[in-house]
Structure 1
Amino acid sequence: MRTDETAAILLKDYRPSDYAIGRVHLDFQLHETETLVTATLSVRKRETTVAGTPLVLDGDELDLVSIALDSVSLGDEAYSATPQGLTVKTPPAAPFTLTIVTKLDPASNTKLMGLYRSSGVWCTQCEAEGFRRITYFLDRPDVLSVYDVRIEAPVAAAPVLLANGNPTTSGLVPDTDRHFAVWSDPHPKPSYLFALVAGDLGVVKDSFTTMSGRHVDLGVYVEHGNEERAVYAMDALKRSMRWDETAFGREYDLDVFNIVAVSDFNMGAMENKGLNVFNDKYVLANPDVATDQDYGGIEAVIAHEYFHNWTGNRITCRDWFQLCLKEGLTVFRDQEFTSDMRSRPVKRISDVRLLRSHQFPEDAGPLAHPVRPEKYMEISNFYTATVYEKGAEVIRALKVLIGDEAFKAGMDLYFDRHDGDAATIEQFVACFAEASGRDLSQFMLWYSQAGTPQLDIRDDYDGDNRTYRLTLSQSLGPTPEQSEKKPMVLPVRFGLVGPNGEDMLYETAKGAEVNGDVIVVDKAEQEIVFTGVASRPIPSILRNFSAPVRPILNMPIKDILFLMRHDSDPFNRWQSASTVAMYCLTASTEALRAGSSATIDGDYLAALAEIITDDALDPAFRALVLALPQEADIAREIGSNVDPDAIAGALRHARRTIGSKLGPTLDHLARFYHDEGAYSPDAESAGRRALANAAQDMRAASGNADVHARIMEKFGAATNMTDRLAALVSLVQNGASEAEQALGDFYEGYKSVPLVIDKWLAVQAARPGARTLDEVKRLTEHPAFSIRNPNRVRSLIGTFATANLPQFARADGAGFDFVADKVMRLDDINPQVAARILVSFRSWRNWEPVRQGLAEAALKRIAAKPNLSRDVRDIAERSLA
């Protein structure tokens, strides 16, 4: 139990618990406002624990009804209890049974942690520290227990009773309107993986036969009427189960696997053993309400939570500092799954775009922390892009470093050696060191050093001696509490592109370790000399983004344009296009601030036109090349003294120029790739729609009224949500006169579908223009909005704060004040959601001085709020430090 609410938890202070809890029996008497939970715990002293050491259990806002030891009620002098913890002062030395009864009020639990009731459904969320809101417990990942659960509830209110593991018995309670179900999970698990769901739900059922021939019953539970929208989720689940068998050799291990979709959920989903609970955003889909992006998200998140069965459940993390061991690894696994299901190059580009937009700013600001942090105040605030996305990138870099064969052997060794363990990063990496025979001690710096390494690339060609010299220098700047950094191990995949656009051969490479097409950079500066190089090459560095670093190319724009046209590596071809676009946008931003005019490079326009009209290329790839960097990307590239208005002006000019100068080309793409047949979410169809809608949107940026009218027609005639929403966004973002009518029509058509209303709210929150803040304020009072629902909050307030930089960071400070007010209100309702919204301030020190002062004042106002939650206080104080 944490006795000092302000004290940081430190990795170096870890030690095992004094007691183990081998078995847990939970009995739930479910009622809306007075649920009784009886927890019977089989407790034993660890061998290293001194007899008589107090048993200290965690709690959070608990109401203790009774406590008994070996069936004998404890006297007041034998224990002490508060809502935040329970201590048995002198436990027996021999194993004993502790029976604890607590009383809960699920209906008033707006934090959505522990047991809560939402839309008539009882539901739990226990990661990271929610189980302590159900009963007093050793609520930590390294306490593994076997769970038996009995649930009793009214038949009418909750005909469905679900928990972890396999169902054993069920029946009616005599002489009552209630029934019960008993579930048993044979696999020891930490308390954060406990789950319970009870309610009146519909279900889609199916089955799966594992690679050893075992039959598994599958169920996806949803609100009645949504069954048809759960069919794709079931399909994604079955594909995930088969893929994990073929790609990693992992077989499912229970008789049933259930998914439940709920409408009020803090996270995307939760991997509870055998009973995954999902935000319904990542389950429900049909062509009329879900976009291609939604289908892709469902596929990825279903896979992610299923893959946790082995990387998170069968092997869990020893402590919360090892969170990346389950999350980063499982993100890597779900990325590989999606790459196999869809286009691998497109998936890679999409993942890196997400990393750069979410994780790079984290690394560059006051909230920077290592992939494995060394301390935390509130663990819920460390479910970050650094742990997830950068954690996945580190594993990918490890795979590049040691090779596919050794990586597979290391994964197999990890599964064999640590099944049933609560493991650490050291144990994980040791498996790959053993499998590859490579010393990975320096590679471990990826887990302990915060920040994004910068890779500086310089080159020189000696035609007389046919030698090419490539100099790679790495640096890593200071981050909070880490001023001095050591050189990392960077596996740099490369190619030398010749004048004909093809990769050149060379005879030897000296000066650094070179394995095939990978240079291993492990010093501050390394020089590689290639011999037998027939002509000056253009270096293609960090192919497929082989390490999560920021490259500094130091090459003329004409060379980058050449790579944009010819690089054989799809990722670097896209990267070159993005680099040239960023060069144009940052130059235009500075020009506008200096009172000059924005411009765009003509050679870039020509190269862009070549790529987007090349029918040999994947349409989805071409759509990504056509998409320009966004305002936040440009701000991150500029780095300091950022003026969001100038950035918005530069981006608006670039889009208008492309939309006008490439008008006929864009019109052709929008028509030719428009999908008029029956909708299918497959990769090929989705790619065609992506290119058509990207071309349509860029064309709309020209401001041409006829184009806007055509888009309005397409909006009305759309046969799927992908095309309908794309048309709506184009009209709203580009200031079309038809925008208001389209918004009204959209709302009227979907006002009964909350997940679609989320899209409607987000479109308006991201709308450019000074009126947007007033509109967002008005929408917070709209009947469709609820500050108690995390999805509504993220769609409206979260989108405004993260996707509308000019209005969030307004020069008058009104955007900061609005978000600060909402964070403080949310803090009293749901601190986790409040803290996540507050993260939008993370880059405030990069803005120009006036905006910096206004943002700082808003943060200080939040930090000064009385009774501020630990979640929000942690983010506010680290942001101000």
Structure 2
Amino acid sequence: PATATDANYLLIESVVAHEYFHNWTGNRITCRDWFQLCVKEGLTVYRDQEFTSDLRSRPLTRLDTVARLKAQQWPEDHGPLAHPPRPDHYKEISNFYTATVYEKGAEIVRMLATRLGKEGFRAGMDLYRARHDNQAITVEDFVLALGDANDEDLSAFLAWYRESGTPVVALRHDYNKQAGRLTVEVKPLPPEGQAVTPKVGKPIPLRIGVIDEAGQEYPIPATTSGLIGHDLIELTDKPISFTIDKLTRPCVPALLRGFSAPVQIRSELTLEEQLILFRHERDPYLRFDSIRQAEQNAMIGMLQGEKSAEDDYRLIAATMAELISCKETGLAFLARLILPKVTFEELQIAIPGVLPLDRIFEVQDKVKQFIAEASSELARARLGNEKLIEEPYSPSDVQIDQRSFRNSLLRLQAFDHSPSGLELVRAAYRDAKSLTERLGALSTIAHEDLAERDNFLSEFRGRVGSNGLLFDKWAGIVASIDDEPNLGRLEQAVKDPLFASTNPNRVYGLIGAFAFRNPRLLHLSDGSGYAFFFEALERLNVINPQVASRLMTAL
């Protein structure tokens, strides 16, 4: 606990499981050649995700895996490094270990598991192990075993392994109040703004439901084309539509429950309809994503100068604020819901063409202001009612959830920079009983408490001493501060006796955190952020070109 956070414990748990599972999916059954790496790694990532889901919280694990996919893999699909999960060539094998191979590879396995159902997928895995134990296999061998065990032809899924790009699915719906009828259409769209345009026609398993404004669910008609389960349709190259009659209340389609496929959704849901999903949808992922999508739409509207967009975001902020006093929703889920959720990477993907970077950062600041107006005082009140953890440290779900929620409340109540709120954060830092609590407070101080942050950063650096693990955590917070004077702190951090370009962990902790978590500073209009980054890369490329090339993916 002195050098590890809750996130560290969870990651260690996942990595140990991942490497252990490689005994079966990777060692006993291995790859015929490097081009089959996505079977070994994608399947094992899926297995370690399921392990964490079973051991911890399935909804929260899914939120985290989808967030990682969108932050790491989607930018690959939309940039010059786009490649399929099974590439057909490479220049350097070290560059083969990508988010596309690992994370998207896992999502393909998840789609197959969703398509076959729990029992069908288990039967397929049993046949796969029995048929190929002590063999070197291909992607085709894996997919064939799953299909043979279920008497199904799954060969169409091989297109997911061959093609790069993120498919786009359009959702259209119309509610006729007078007739009491809802019409829904789902169809594939040719994507725009991607480096390589994926072909339309791959099978896409989509979990879908329909709910009304009171939360009542309505079944998908059994006559719907492509229906393969009570809430599961398989979209290919043709649109799928259905109609539900005799409705007495407005209804909303709930598409992509559980993030059942790695696709982007283009919908015409109104803000009111998105808030219905947020308040009443039973699927945690879709509930989270409905409010995230509402935030994103409002932010894009603000970027485009729409007069109503600011009012929309104020309504969203007020809706999020309602949750602060909620006792029915789990604390860790609340911790994710009450803070801003739209990332720079998601805006990059949502806005085609050249990004108006300065405008994006202005909108992000304004969004934070709206949330502060709606939530900061409520967060301070809830924080005062939350009991401190008195028991000895444990990485248990109960304690992790409590610490996560308290850290989110601390950050939220400091958004308005009130003296009382900032003093609460300083006290939380001083009184912290775990590294997770102390770093949570320090991160908030670094971003919100301009008067005291240098004092507290210096105090924690003193605690670090010569401990490299703690240095990485301190460096990560320093690297994430996004005002222009922080470049001076970064230059000093590079000169710190504990920083060494020969140590990949030190490099990722400081330079990696800057490149991947600080777009505002990296993309400064005067080029000083790029200058700092490229100077570090030039030094690093002589020592460790593999690490340097991975850091370059931030661009």
TM-score per shorter chain, which class? over 0.9
Say if 2:531 is the partner of 1:817: yes
Contact 1:466 1:531 in 2 (8 A): yes
Say if 2:328 is the partner of 1:616: yes
Q: In 2, Cα distance between the equivalents of 1:768 and 1:507? A: 51
Q: In 2, Cα distance between the equivalents of 1:393 and 1:741? A: 44
Contact 2:78 2:194 in 1 (8 A): no
**1:658 maps to which residue?**
371
**1:28 maps to which residue?**
none
Contact 2:180 2:245 in 1 (8 A): yes
SS of residue matched to 2:554: helix
**2:153 maps to which residue?**
439
Contact 1:502 1:568 in 2 (8 A): no
Say if 2:64 is the partner of 1:350: yes
Decide which structure has greater strand share: 1
Q: In 2, Cα distance between the equivalents of 1:481 and 1:605? A: 35
**1:141 maps to which residue?**
none
- Structure 2 unaligned residues grouped into runs of 5+: none
Q: In 1, Cα distance between the equivalents of 2:384 and 2:195? A: 54
SS of residue matched to 1:468: strand
Q: Per-residue deviation at 1:537?
A: 1.7
Say if 2:550 is the partner of 1:550: no
Aligned mate of 1:709, from 415, 420, 423: 423
Q: Per-residue deviation at 1:444?
A: 1.2
Contact 2:166 2:198 in 1 (8 A): no
Q: Could you tell me which amino acid in structure 2 is paired with residue 373 of structure 1?
A: P
Aligned mate of 1:323, from 27, 34, 37: 37
Say if 2:514 is the partner of 1:808: no
Deviations 1:812-837 (A, max 9, x none): 12222322222222111111101111
Deviations 1:51-73 (A, max 9, x none): xxxxxxxxxxxxxxxxxxxxxxx
**2:347 maps to which residue?**
634
Q: Could you tell me which amino acid in structure 2 is paired with residue 614 of structure 1?
A: C
Q: In 2, Cα distance between the equivalents of 1:597 and 1:458? A: 22
Deviations 1:785-820 (A, max 9, x none): 100000110111111111110111111122223222
Say if 2:387 is the partner of 1:668: no
Aligned mate of 1:403, from 100, 117, 127: 117
Q: In 2, Cα distance between the equivalents of 1:403 and 1:721? A: 41
Seen in structure 2, the aligned counterparts of structure 1 residues 506 and 489 have a Cα distance that, compared at 3 Å, is closer
Say if 2:356 is the partner of 1:643: yes
SS of residue matched to 1:443: helix
Deviations 1:579-607 (A, max 9, x none): 1121232333344xx99996663331232
SS of residue matched to 1:527: strand
Say if 2:112 is the partner of 1:423: no
**1:727 maps to which residue?**
441
Q: Per-residue deviation at 1:752?
A: 2.3
**1:378 maps to which residue?**
92
Seen in structure 2, the aligned counterparts of structure 1 residues 825 and 701 have a Cα distance that, compared at 3 Å, is same
Q: Could you tell me which amino acid in structure 2 is paired with residue 362 of structure 1?
A: E
Q: In 1, Cα distance between the equivalents of 2:115 and 2:308? A: 47
Q: Per-residue deviation at 1:552?
A: 1.1
Q: Could you tell me which amino acid in structure 2 is paired with residue 427 of structure 1?
A: D
Q: In 2, Cα distance between the equivalents of 1:480 and 1:697? A: 35
Q: In 2, Cα distance between the equivalents of 1:484 and 1:339? A: 30
Q: In 1, Cα distance between the equivalents of 2:111 and 2:291? A: 24
**1:693 maps to which residue?**
407
Q: In 1, Cα distance between the equivalents of 2:356 and 2:125? A: 47
Q: In 2, Cα distance between the equivalents of 1:472 and 1:731? A: 46
Q: In 2, Cα distance between the equivalents of 1:657 and 1:419? A: 57
Q: Per-residue deviation at 1:730?
A: 0.2
Contact 1:357 1:633 in 2 (8 A): yes
SS of residue matched to 1:485: coil
Contact 2:181 2:243 in 1 (8 A): yes
Q: Could you tell me which amino acid in structure 1 is paired with residue 217 of structure 2?
A: D
Q: Per-residue deviation at 1:460?
A: 2.3
SS of residue matched to 2:157: coil
Contact 1:457 1:473 in 2 (8 A): yes
SS of residue matched to 2:27: coil
**1:298 maps to which residue?**
12
Q: Per-residue deviation at 1:351?
A: 0.9
**1:105 maps to which residue?**
none
Contact 1:669 1:692 in 2 (8 A): no
Seen in structure 2, the aligned counterparts of structure 1 residues 545 and 326 have a Cα distance that, compared at 3 Å, is same
Q: Could you tell me which amino acid in structure 1 is paired with residue 316 of structure 2?
A: Y
**1:743 maps to which residue?**
457
SS of residue matched to 1:509: coil
**1:460 maps to which residue?**
174
SS of residue matched to 1:444: helix
**TM-score under structure 2 normalisation?**
0.95
Aligned mate of 2:551, from 830, 837, 843: 837
SS of residue matched to 1:442: helix
- 638-647 or 313-322: which moved more? 638-647
Contact 2:422 2:449 in 1 (8 A): no
What are the equivalent positions in structure 2 for 1:4-83 lying under 5 Å apart?
none
Contact 1:506 1:531 in 2 (8 A): no
Aligned mate of 2:315, from 598, 603, 626: 603
**1:587 maps to which residue?**
301
Q: Per-residue deviation at 1:506?
A: 5.5
SS of residue matched to 1:372: coil
Q: RMSD between aligned alpha carbons?
A: 2.2
Q: Per-residue deviation at 1:729?
A: 0.3
Contact 2:77 2:166 in 1 (8 A): yes
- Structure 1 unaligned residues grouped into runs of 5+: 1-286, 842-881
**1:682 maps to which residue?**
396
Q: In 1, Cα distance between the equivalents of 2:122 and 2:165? A: 28
Contact 1:494 1:541 in 2 (8 A): yes
Identity %: 35
Say which structure, 1 or 2, has more relative contact order (CA 8 Å, 6+ apart).
2
**2:476 maps to which residue?**
762
Contact 2:165 2:197 in 1 (8 A): no
Seen in structure 2, the aligned counterparts of structure 1 residues 313 and 791 have a Cα distance that, compared at 3 Å, is same
Say if 2:475 is the partner of 1:785: no
**1:208 maps to which residue?**
none
Seen in structure 2, the aligned counterparts of structure 1 residues 595 and 454 have a Cα distance that, compared at 3 Å, is closer
Q: Per-residue deviation at 1:838?
A: 1.0
Say if 2:21 is the partner of 1:307: yes
Contact 1:380 1:832 in 2 (8 A): yes
Seen in structure 2, the aligned counterparts of structure 1 residues 734 and 636 have a Cα distance that, compared at 3 Å, is farther
Aligned mate of 2:208, from 491, 494, 513: 494
**1:538 maps to which residue?**
252
Q: In 1, Cα distance between the equivalents of 2:28 and 2:193? A: 35
